[in-house]
């Protein structure tokens, strides 16, 4: 199982960020599977942002719900996260992670290496 | 959903045991047996060391153990080693089908 994030290294304030998570080794249509996005500002804590389930349901962190959109392309094994109206405080490393909720495991078990995004004019 | 509460730092000497707490609410930690712990070394990505409160993934040292009581989960590192110096994060499933992380704890081996 592998995941890898891709997207722009920098965006300007007010722009929309689009990140892609390309994964292999599992199917997002398998029951109990989902992909989460998590971010980490420099020197700060991890923050869970969103996930999309095996049945296409989307869930978002309450504080950023109005700015986030998560979608999937099961034929390409990709999950896309868009974040609108970017601000310098959104600077950080963005990770995607396989998230399982099945009989044996509940949580984020495999992570991508992360992609760093800087928001600056 | 508010972040889970962890102490900012915990320290210990080599060979000692330390415990990191992670406090939430009945809507997250207290409501589910779905607490994970992650270890993150500087400039590295997070690595899961405990899942479902007390289970260790294959390859994780038995020196790491997890537990939960009420709205508080705990991670214990026994036989502390210098390689255990890292940041540790807890995470829990929540009642609104989301996940929430703790603020992180920096472990120092003196």
Question: What percent of chain A clears pLDDT 90, i.e. is strictly above it?
Answer: 98
**Residues A82-93: what's their mean pLDDT?**
98
Q: Does residue B66 contact residue B37 with C-beta atoms inside 8 Å?
A: yes
Write down the pLDDT at residue B1: 75
Residues in A closer than 8 angstroms to B46, CB to CB, are: 46, 95, 111
Q: What's the mean pLDDT when you consider all of chain B?
A: 97
pLDDT tens per residue across span A8-64: 999 999 999 999 999 999 999 999 999 999 999 999 999 999 999 999 999 999 999
Write down the pLDDT at residue B46: 98
Q: Does residue B73 contact residue B29 with C-beta atoms inside 8 Å?
A: yes
Nearest beta carbon to residue B34 from set A59, A107, A113: A107
Q: Does residue A90 contact residue A42 with C-beta atoms inside 8 Å?
A: no
Write down the pLDDT at residue B49: 98
Q: Which residue's structure tokens are 């000497």?
A: B13
In the three-class reduction of DSSP (H, G, I as helix; E, B as strand; rest coil), residue A105 is classed as: coil
Q: Does residue A51 contact residue A59 with C-beta atoms inside 8 Å?
A: yes
Residues A47, B101: C-beta atoms closer than 8 Å: yes
Spatial distance between the Cα atoms of A6 and A74, rounded to a whole number of angstroms: 17
> What phi and psi values does residue B52 have, to the nearest 5 degrees?
45, 50
Chain A, 7-46: which have a CB under 8 Å from a chain B CB? 36, 38, 45-46
**Residues A69-93: what's their mean pLDDT?**
97
Chains A, B: CB contacts within 8 A come to 70
Write down the pLDDT at residue A54: 94
Name the DSSP class of A13: T
Q: What's the mean pLDDT when you consider all of chain A?
A: 97
Q: Which residue's structure tokens are 């920098």?
A: A10
pLDDT tens per residue across span B69-102: 999 999 999 999 999 999 999 999 999 999 999 9
Give B104→chain A minimum CA distance, Å. Answer: 6
Q: Please state the length of chain A.
A: 121
- DSSP labels, chain B: -PPBB--SEEEE-TT--EEEEEE--TTTGGG-S-EEEEEE-TTS--EEEEBTTTB--TTS-TTEEEEEETTEEEEEE-S--GGG-EEEEEEEE-TTS-EEEB--EEEEE-
pLDDT tens per residue across span B50-67: 999 999 999 999 999 999
Pairing of strands B99-101, B86-93: antiparallel
């Amino acid at each position: 199982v592998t995941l890898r994030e891709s997207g722009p290294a920098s965006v300007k304030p007010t722009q929309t960020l689009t990140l892609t998570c390309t994964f292999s080794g599992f199917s997002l249509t398998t029951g109990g599977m989902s992909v989460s996005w998590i971010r980490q500002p420099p020197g700060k804590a991890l923050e869970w942002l969103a996930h999309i389930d095996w049945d296409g349901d989307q869930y978002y962190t309450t504080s950023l719900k109005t700015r986030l959109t998560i979608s999937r392309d099961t034929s390409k094994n990709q999950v896309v996260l868009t974040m609108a109206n970017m601000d310098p405080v959104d600077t950080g490393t963005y990770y995607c992670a396989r998230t399982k909720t099945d009989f044996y495991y509940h949580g984020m078990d495999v992570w991508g290496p992360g992609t760093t995004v800087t928001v600056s004019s | 959903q508010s972040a889970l509460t962890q102490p900012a730092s915990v320290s210990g000497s080599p060979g000692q045991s330390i415990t990191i707490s992670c406090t939430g609410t009945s809507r997250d930690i207290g409501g589910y047996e779905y607490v994970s712990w992650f270890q993150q070394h500087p400039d590295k990505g997070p690595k899961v060391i405990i899942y479902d409160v007390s289970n260790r993934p294959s390859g994780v040292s038995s020196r790491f153990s997890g537990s939960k009581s009420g709205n508080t989960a705990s991670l214990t590192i026994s036989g502390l080693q210098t390689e255990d110096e890292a940041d540790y994060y807890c995470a829990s499933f929540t009642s609104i089908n989301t996940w929430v992380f703790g603020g992180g704890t920096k472990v120092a081996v003196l």
